[in-house]
Amino acid sequence: MHGTAETRRYRACPLCEAICGLEFRFREGALRAIHGDAKDPLQPWPYLFQG
Q: Is the whole-model pTM more than 0.75?
A: no
3-class secondary structure for 1-34?
CCCCCEEEEEEECCCCCCCCEEEEEEECCEEEEE
pLDDT value at residue 39 = 84
| Rounded-to-integer distance, Cα 26 and Cα 33, Å | 7
pLDDT value at residue 37 = 85
pLDDT value at residue 10 = 93
10-residue mean pLDDT profile of the chain (51 residues): values are 82 84 93 88 64 54
Give the Å distances, CA to CA, from 41 to 27, 29, 34: 26, 28, 18
Name the burial class of residue 25, with classes exposed (0-12), middle (13-18) and buried (19+) by CB atoms within 10 angstroms of its CB.
middle
